[in-house]
Amino acid sequence: MADANVRIPAEARDRLAERAERAERAEQAEQAREELQACNGYNPDAERIRQLDAELDRRLAEAENG
């Protein structure tokens, strides 16, 4: 089957990219947590992870908005 070029609206493209970035970020965060736990016992609970995620989101938004 030949490759096809399919046009999608920019808004849809941006939403898909955002979802992919979130999934990639979650995967990287899990790998980092596993490595830190193995190295020094770092093992944050769900509430601490939520706090850290919120802080990261705040900093990223601040950087994007200047």
pTM of the shown model: 0.54
Contacts of residue 36, Cβ cutoff 8 Å, sequence gap at least 6: 42
Per residue in 27-66, pLDDT tens?
998 899 899 999 999 898 999 989 988 998 999 899 989 7
How many CA atoms does the CB half-sphere of 61 hold within 13 Å? 6
